[in-house]
């Protein structure tokens, strides 16, 4: 029945009412559920009860093998939440429960943000971990070759993590108990999610160093990388901390990585990759000084590496070449090819040149299929050489080795062939092994003298262990160790293994009898040694050559060792050593405090740089109880310091010791007496006397006895003062560590430094005046120390002589302050210099050559008298020096910045009658480690210019100067006037000769030869008994390549009868240690007066053709015309043996030609007196001149012979002379013109005065002369 409209409306209203009722109830229910859910969530997040429920749920949902416990918790889950005594263990493989990760922490404080959890991100506003440990299991992942880019680390955290502030205080990471790293503090930020890692200024301070990281690594974006990391590694005290940095930028198709730092010298490496999937890459690395021991904080190596590497490749194919040096060993990897393709490594081949030979490695390793892994490698060496000294003949070796199989089952065989002094030996081995051990089936050596046969086994996992048995039957070790040739027979057996506690090894060595010869000496030895960790027990006896030695005992917690030498000849024991040691020695008692007994005598002991001409040690010195005496005496000892004699007398016991010691060295002597007593853990005693007597200067003596004590950490020294008779005093006191060490000095005279200054060039003493005060402190700071020194002086200076009215160098108000600690040194210096000048300096560096250097030096002075010390030729220098120099780089390779300027420089050079003025020189440091030098100075009408560079980074050419000029006045004395135009290059490097090359043009010169003669040689009335310092040599050798150009008519000569000019060109060359040679020709023109006549020089040449400069080839022709006759003299030949000839035109005999030359008329018209003159001239001519006469004088024993000047005869004479004593000289001469003979007597007085008497056939003369040598 259809509904009426009213019914339909009523039902619709009912439905609406029901819907409204349902909606209201649903809303109320939803609200109630939401409130309940919110309340539950609030309860879980903000209440302690909710926290415990959530943490329990977390523990229950951990994966199998994982546990999480804590002692107590504070705060809600919403944070901040602090958990104490946290421990988390996780073993990922239930079958290996010991392979687990264990994390513990005293406290973990977190402050999480809840909302990001809705997006599956764990955000921690703060994470603070304290007192934590993390122990990791050893990785058992099989080895795999790297693949690009799959081998790059993936970032796959189970939950995105964002930690804005991370702070860790104390985290010790270990791997199965072995230390890995101990982090003291760490802090920074971290964000990690799928394929993304961002570190925000993370800083880590640990026992392995200080590390810092910042940047992004995003594998999901084609491995996009923008990352920077730095590391400063720990170092031993006094050493510069190694440091390096890494920068990586790019992605999988374009990546650049750079590494740079100091290890300890600057080192750098770069890697660039371009393209994909097989990128083309280039690797470059260079480290001139690389000490790998510094990476682990070990002791610096005495022989660090020098590495230079270059590698280029495409994908897994690479071409490698490198150079590696360590000490005297040098290895060069020639361009070699290595390929890695799909887990297959191929070497094709690797070539290494070392030991003067070549080694090739070739082969492959295929690890693609774990069940079918294969490897095959061959090593071939040819021409390897070692030894090659008089004591160790060279050994040349060829070898071929091969290994094949698979990692779990491989075999290795090889053969080596050795050649020494024409005799051959072979070495063969056969081994089998796997990944944990190697079985040495046979090791055989065959040589002309006999054989060696050995076999054994070596294991390296789980711990190192070995056993080896060898039989020697005429074995010659000289094929392997060239310095020890011989023929040895016997047996050797050794067993050993690493201790489970990690404290060394348990091992034995048994050699019951070794006989034969070694190094040409009869051998009879036995040894039985057992090693148990740090304890050693053994019985060893040896007879080798003339040596007989034995030792027996135990070294462990206690010592019981007896040694006998009857005798021991060191040259029997080792090459390069020498001397004889006889006697006995014994050690008994605790390892740290043994009793000492010795009766030893040594003679001529030497080894390396150590030596002692004689040694005597006798006596007994107990450690604790009893009384004994020990006497030690040695002479001519070299142990870093040359000691001519040292004597030590010890009495009592080591813990109640009285000591007297004396030592004498080339620098002086020292004497000490005192005592030492040990009470408990503390040592103490008294220094009764201490006297230091330097070879130069006043002696130092201890004012009064001083006491001291030390217990290993704490100590004290009562006030101890050393003083000298000159008024100096040096005092020290200590109370460590409370107050540290104090040193002070009052009125220390600067004259104390005089004996230690280098000698002056003029032989005069250094005249210092002034005194200084000194204070110094050394204070403990934690486990290190810090110190400072302050030196002050009111005034002082240096004089040139006692009569000098002013100082060459003076100062006022000097202040020097220095601070230092185990790693750094810094200091400042300030003083007024030469009245109105000023010097200020500051410097900061470290203790070793690789320490960074920083500092600045400023200088200003207009008093330049100190320059007179640099050269004795300059007088009264004036000008202004201003400088501002910045120091940088390292101590080994310093860099300089800034500039120095010398302006308005003026000085005189009296020896050359020069006045140099308007000097201006500037030095400007450049960034490349060099300095630019530019300057000029005027002399006469010209200017001398200097332009060059100064370098201090390398030793090749640190100083290069270009010296040029025009119309430069080089000398202006009465005897020499010279104007030159130089164009010269001067090069100087440390330990290298000074090189001078270029050209000097003489533009104008006037030379008075007679005035120059005295400066050329020593005056005949001066006797040099011996040099001032016979040990002194020239400061720097000279390498000369200089061209001297004399334009025609530019040089005028006058003197000794010559009035002419000199021209031509001469190239002069000299190498250190070789004779100076020349190449070129000089021409002489003008007139020459000889035999009383003026001759015209028609031809005059001095010719050098790569010949000694002192021995040119002469071609000189001088002549005169008398009517129709032309007469002359011609000199030819070498200057050391000239040949003189008189000639005439028309031709005539020599006597007739000589008459025309000397008299101007024929011989027939000469008088008897003139005839005698001609005979004397002919005799002199036949003698060959002064040079030849000088050679004859040397052979006949005369001091002088040749042409000389005689005032009594009024001309030249040919004579000889001899010093009858250092002060008395007697000479005899004959006039070249036959006018008579002369007897000369000279007697040397004092201060340059001498008396000279001449008695001749014409007159007698006497004179009192005074000469001053300059």
pLDDT tens profile 337-349? 999 988 899 998 9
The pLDDT of residue 936: 93
Q: Does the structure show a pLDDT above 50 at 1030?
A: no
CA dihedral 801, 802, 808, 809 (to 10 degrees): 130
Which residues does residue 321 pair with via DSSP β-bridges, in sequence order? 310
> Which tens digit of pLDDT belongs to each residue from 393-424?
889 999 999 999 998 899 999 999 999 988 99
Residue 955's pLDDT band (cuts 50, 70, 90): low
> Which tens digit of pLDDT belongs to each residue from 554-592?
988 888 999 999 999 999 988 889 999 999 999 988 888
Q: How far apart are CA 630 and CA 696, in angstroms?
A: 33
Q: Tokens for 1002, please give them.
A: 């003489």
The contacts of residue 1082 (CB under 8 Å, 6+ apart) are 1046, 1062, 1063, 1064, 1065, 1066, 1101, 1102, 1112
The more confidently predicted of residues 696 and 85 is 85
Name the least confident of 139-143, 560-564, 816-820, 1103-1107: 139-143
The pLDDT of residue 1181: 53
Residue 1170's pLDDT band (cuts 50, 70, 90): low
Q: Tokens for 218, please give them.
A: 């995003």
Q: Does the structure show a pLDDT above 60 at 624?
A: yes
> Which tens digit of pLDDT belongs to each residue from 352-362?
999 999 999 99
Contact in structure between 355 and 386 (CB atoms under 8 Å) = yes
Q: How far apart are CA 1266 and CA 1247, in angstroms?
A: 8
Q: Does the structure show a pLDDT above 80 at 960?
A: yes
The pLDDT of residue 248: 96
The more confidently predicted of residues 391 and 375 is 375
Q: How far apart are CA 685 and CA 1128, in angstroms?
A: 96
Q: How far apart are CA 970 and CA 935, in angstroms?
A: 18
Give yes or no for a cis peptide into 492 (omega within 30° of 0): no
The pLDDT of residue 1013: 44
Contact in structure between 844 and 824 (CB atoms under 8 Å) = yes
Least Cα distance to 933 among 917, 955, 951, 953 occurs for: 951
What interhelical angle do 48-60 and 5-46 show, nearest 10? 90
Q: How far apart are CA 828 and CA 823, in angstroms?
A: 18
Q: How far apart are CA 212 and CA 202, in angstroms?
A: 6
> Which tens digit of pLDDT belongs to each residue from 46-63?
677 777 777 787 777 777
The pLDDT of residue 1024: 42
Least Cα distance to 264 among 284, 290, 238, 227 occurs for: 290
Contact in structure between 510 and 517 (CB atoms under 8 Å) = no
The pLDDT of residue 782: 74
Contact in structure between 330 and 308 (CB atoms under 8 Å) = no
Sign of the alpha-carbon torsion through 77, 81, 86, 88? positive
The pLDDT of residue 1092: 63
Residue 124's pLDDT band (cuts 50, 70, 90): confident
The pLDDT of residue 748: 81
Q: How far apart are CA 1196 and CA 805, in angstroms?
A: 52
The pLDDT of residue 125: 81
Contact in structure between 259 and 249 (CB atoms under 8 Å) = no
Q: How far apart are CA 900 and CA 271, in angstroms?
A: 42
Q: How far is CA 906 from CA 322, 941, 972, in A?
A: 56, 15, 17
Q: Does the structure show a pLDDT above 80 at 1202?
A: no
Give the chain's mean pLDDT. Answer: 83
Most confident of 107-116, 255-264, 989-998, 1224-1233: 255-264
The pLDDT of residue 1192: 42
Name the least confident of 295-309, 522-536, 1161-1175, 1215-1229: 1161-1175
The contacts of residue 888 (CB under 8 Å, 6+ apart) are 853, 854, 894, 895, 896, 897
Percentage, residues of the chain above pLDDT 70: 86
Q: How far apart are CA 309 and CA 321, in angstroms?
A: 6
The pLDDT of residue 1223: 66
Average pLDDT over residues 785-800: 88
Q: Tokens for 835, please give them.
A: 């009245």
Q: Does the structure show a pLDDT above 70 at 19?
A: yes
> Which tens digit of pLDDT belongs to each residue from 691-737?
988 776 678 899 999 999 998 888 999 999 998 887 788 899 999 88
Average pLDDT over residues 1109-1129: 82
For residue 124, count other CB atoms closer than 10 A to its CB: 21
Q: Does the structure show a pLDDT above 90 at 283?
A: yes
How big is the chain, counted in residues?
A: 1270
Q: Does the structure show a pLDDT above 60 at 15?
A: yes
Sign of the alpha-carbon torsion through 35, 37, 38, 39? positive
Q: Does the structure show a pLDDT above 60 at 895?
A: yes
3-state SS class at 408: coil
Residue 1021's pLDDT band (cuts 50, 70, 90): very low
Q: Does the structure show a pLDDT above 90 at 828?
A: yes
Give one DSSP letter per residue of 934-950, joined into a string.
Answer: EEEEEETTEEEEEEEEE
3-state SS class at 590: strand
Residue 1145's pLDDT band (cuts 50, 70, 90): confident
Q: Does the structure show a pLDDT above 90 at 1263?
A: no
The pLDDT of residue 545: 92
Name the least confident of 38-52, 297-311, 1194-1208: 1194-1208
Least Cα distance to 1231 among 1190, 1172, 1189 occurs for: 1172
Long-range pairs, 382-387, Cβ under 8 A, ≥24 = 382/357, 382/358, 383/356, 383/357, 383/358, 384/354, 384/355, 384/356, 384/357, 384/359, 385/355, 385/356, 385/357, 386/355, 386/482, 387/420, 387/482, 387/483
Q: What's the whole-model pTM score?
A: 0.70
Average pLDDT over residues 1151-1173: 66
The pLDDT of residue 1267: 64
Contact in structure between 962 and 949 (CB atoms under 8 Å) = no
Q: Does the structure show a pLDDT above 90 at 159?
A: no
The more confidently predicted of residues 392 and 700 is 700
The more confidently predicted of residues 473 and 100 is 473
Q: Does the structure show a pLDDT above 50 at 1194?
A: no
Which residues does residue 1078 pair with via DSSP β-bridges, in sequence order? 1068, 1107
Q: Does the structure show a pLDDT above 60 at 1032?
A: no
Contact in structure between 204 and 183 (CB atoms under 8 Å) = yes
The pLDDT of residue 845: 92
Q: What are phi and psi of 1196, to 5 degrees?
A: -90, -5
Name the least confident of 11-15, 552-556, 569-573, 1009-1013: 1009-1013
Most confident of 954-958, 1071-1075, 1134-1138: 1071-1075
Distance between terminal CA atoms of the chain? 156
Residue 36 belongs to what H/E stretch? Answer: helix 5-46
List strands edge to edge, sheet with 1211-1219: 1200-1206, 1211-1219, 1224-1231, 1237-1244, 1249-1256, 1260-1266
Burial class from Cβ neighbours inside 10 Å (0-12, 13-18, 19+) for residue 1228 reads: middle
3-state SS class at 752: helix
The radius of gyration of the chain from alpha carbons, rounded to an integer in Å, stands at 47
């Amino acid at each position: 029945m259809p509904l009426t409209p009213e019914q339909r409306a009523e039902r619709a209203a009912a439905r609406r009412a029901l819907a409204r009722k349902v909606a209201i109830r649903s809303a109320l229910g939803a609200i109630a559920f939401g409130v309940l859910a919110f309340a539950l969530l609030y309860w879980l997040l903000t209440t302690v009860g909710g926290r415990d429920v959530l943490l329990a749920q977390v523990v229950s949902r951990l994966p199998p093998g994982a546990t999480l416990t804590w002692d107590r918790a504070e705060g809600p889950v919403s944070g901040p939440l602090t958990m104490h005594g946290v421990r988390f263990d996780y073993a990922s493989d239930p079958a290996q429960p010991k392979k687990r990760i264990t994390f513990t922490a005293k406290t973990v404080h977190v402050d999480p943000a809840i909302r990001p959890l809705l997006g599956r991100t764990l955000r921690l506003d703060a994470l603070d971990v304290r007192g934590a440990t993390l122990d990791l299991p050893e990785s058992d992942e099989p080895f795999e070759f790297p693949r690009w880019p799959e081998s790059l680390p993936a970032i796959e955290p189970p939950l995105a993590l964002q930690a804005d502030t991370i702070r860790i205080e104390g985290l010790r990471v270990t791997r199965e108990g072995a230390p890995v790293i101990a982090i003291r503090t760490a802090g920074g930020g971290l964000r990690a999610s799928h394929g993304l890692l961002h570190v925000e200024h993370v800083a880590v301070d640990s026992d392995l160093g200080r590390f810092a990281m910042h940047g992004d690594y995003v594998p999901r974006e084609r491995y996009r990388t923008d990352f920077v990391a730095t590391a400063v590694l720990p170092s031993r005290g006094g050493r510069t901390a190694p440091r390096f940095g890494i920068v990586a930028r790019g992605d999988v198709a374009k990546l650049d990585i750079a590494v740079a730092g100091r290890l300890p010298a600057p080192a750098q490496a770069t890697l660039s990759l371009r393209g994909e999937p097989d990128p083309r890459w280039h690797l470059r690395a260079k480290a001139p000084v690389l000490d790998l021991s510094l990476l682990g904080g070990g002791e610096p190596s005495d022989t660090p590496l020098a590495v230079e590497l270059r590698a280029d490749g495409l994908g897994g194919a690479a071409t490698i070449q490198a150079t590696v040096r360590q000490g005297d060993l040098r290895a060069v990897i020639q361009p070699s090819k290595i390929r890695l393709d799909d887990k297959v490594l191929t070497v094709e081949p690797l070539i290494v040149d070392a030991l003067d030979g070549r080694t090739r490695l070739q082969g492959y390793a295929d690890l693609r299929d774990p069940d079918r892994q294969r490897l095959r490698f061959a090593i071939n060496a040819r021409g390897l050489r070692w030894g090659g000294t008089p004591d160790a003949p060279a050994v040349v070796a060829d070898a071929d080795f091969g290994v094949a199989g698979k990692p779990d089952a491989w075999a290795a065989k090889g053969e080596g062939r050795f050649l020494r002094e024409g005799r051959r030996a072979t070495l063969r081995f056969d081994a089998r092994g796997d990944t944990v051990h190697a079985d040495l089936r046979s090791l055989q050596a065959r040589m002309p003298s006999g054989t060696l046969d050995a076999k054994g086994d070596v294991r390296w996992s789980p711990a190192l262990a070995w056993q080896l048995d060898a039989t020697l039957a005429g074995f010659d070790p000289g094929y392997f160790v060239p310095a020890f040739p011989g023929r040895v027979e016997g047996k050797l057996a050794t067993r050993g293994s690493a201790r489970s506690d990690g404290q060394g090894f348990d091992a034995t060595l048994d050699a019951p009898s070794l006989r034969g010869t070694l190094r040409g000496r009869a051998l009879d030895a036995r040894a039985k040694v057992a090693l148990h960790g740090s304890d050693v027990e053994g019985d060893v006896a040896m007879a080798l050559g003339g040596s007989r030695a034995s030792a027996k005992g135990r070294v462990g917690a206690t010592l019981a060792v007896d040694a006998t030498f009857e005798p021991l000849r060191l040259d029997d024991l080792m090459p390069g050593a020498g001397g004889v040691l006889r006697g006995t020695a014994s050690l008994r008692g605790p390892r740290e405090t043994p009793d000492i007994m010795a009766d030893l005598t040594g003679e001529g002991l030497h080894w390396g740089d150590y030596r002692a001409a004689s040694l005597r040690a006798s006596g007994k010195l107990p450690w604790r109880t009893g009384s004994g005496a020990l006497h030690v005496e040695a002479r001519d000892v070299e142990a870093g310091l040359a000691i001519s004699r040292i004597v030590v007398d010890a009495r009592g016991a080591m813990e109640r010791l009285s000591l007297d010691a004396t030592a004498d060295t080339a620098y002086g002597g020292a004497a000490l007496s005192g005592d030492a007593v040990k009470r408990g853990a503390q040592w103490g005693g008294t220094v009764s006397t201490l006297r230091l007597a330097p070879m130069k200067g006043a002696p130092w003596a201890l004012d009064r006895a001083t006491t001291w004590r030390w217990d290993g950490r704490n100590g004290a020294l009562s006030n101890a003062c050393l003083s000298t008779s000159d008024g100096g005093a040096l005092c020290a006191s200590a109370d460590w560590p409370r107050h540290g060490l104090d040193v002070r000095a009052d009125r220390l005279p600067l004259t104390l430094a005089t004996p230690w200054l280098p000698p002056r060039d003029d032989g005069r003493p250094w005249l210092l005046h002034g005194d200084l005060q000194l204070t110094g402190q050394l204070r403990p700071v934690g486990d290190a120390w810090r110190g400072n020194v302050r030196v002050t002086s009111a005034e002082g200076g240096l004089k040139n002589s006692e009569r000098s009215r002013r100082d060459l160098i003076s100062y006022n108000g000097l202040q020097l302050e220095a601070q230092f600690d185990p790693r750094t040194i810094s200091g400042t210096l300030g003083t007024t210099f030469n009245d109105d000048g000023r010097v200020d300096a500051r410097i900061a560096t470290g203790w070793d050559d690789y320490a960074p250097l920083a500092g600045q030096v400023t200088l200003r002075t207009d008093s330049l008298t100190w320059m007179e010390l640099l050269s004795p030729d300059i007088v009264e220098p004036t000008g202004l020096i201003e400088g501002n120099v910045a120091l940088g780089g390292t101590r080994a390779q310093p860099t300089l910045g800034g500039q120095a300027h010398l302006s308005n420089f003026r000085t005189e050079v009296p020896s050359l009658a020069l006045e140099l003025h308007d000097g201006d020189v500037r030095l400007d440091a450049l960034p490349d480690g060099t300095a630019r030098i530019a300057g000029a100075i005027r002399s006469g009408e010209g200017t001398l210019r200097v332009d060059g560079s100064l370098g201090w980074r390398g030793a090749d050419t640190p100083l290069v100067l270009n010296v040029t000029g025009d119309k430069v006045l080089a000398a202006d004395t009465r005897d020499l006037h010279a104007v030159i135009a130089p164009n010269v290059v001067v090069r100087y490097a440390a330990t290298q000769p000074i090189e001078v090359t270029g050209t000097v043009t003489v533009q104008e010169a006037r030379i008075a030869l007679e005035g120059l003669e005295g400066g050329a040689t020593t005056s005949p009335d001066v006797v040099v008994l011996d040099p001032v310092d016979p040990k002194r040599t020239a400061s720097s050798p000279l390498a000369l390549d200089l061209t001297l150009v004399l334009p025609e008519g530019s040089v005028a000569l006058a003197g000794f009868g010559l009035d002419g000019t000199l021209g031509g060109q001469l190239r002069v060359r000299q190498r250190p240690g070789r004779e100076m040679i020349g190449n070129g020709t000089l021409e002489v023109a003008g007139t020459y007066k000889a035999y009383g006549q003026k001759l015209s020089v028609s031809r005059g040449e001095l010719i050098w053709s790569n010949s000694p400069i002192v021995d040119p080839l002469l071609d000189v022709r001088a002549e005169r015309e008398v009517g129709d006759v032309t007469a002359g003299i011609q000199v030819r030949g070498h200057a050391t043996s000239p040949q003189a000839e008189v000639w005439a035109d028309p031709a005539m005999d020599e006597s007739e030609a000589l008459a025309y030359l000397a008299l101007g008329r024929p011989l027939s018209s000469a008088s008897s007196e003139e005839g005698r003159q001609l005979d004397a001239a002919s005799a002199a001519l036949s003698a060959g001149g002064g040079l030849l006469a000088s050679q004859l004088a040397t052979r006949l024993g005369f001091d002088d012979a040749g042409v000389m000047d005689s005032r009594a005869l009024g001309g030249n004479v040919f004579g000889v002379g001899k010093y009858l004593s250092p002060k008395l000289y007697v000479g005899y001469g004959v006039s070249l013109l036959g006018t008579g003979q002369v007897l000369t007597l000279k007697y040397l007085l004092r201060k340059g005065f001498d008396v000279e008497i001449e008695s001749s056939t014409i007159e007698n003369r006497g004179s009192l002369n005074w000469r001053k040598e300059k």
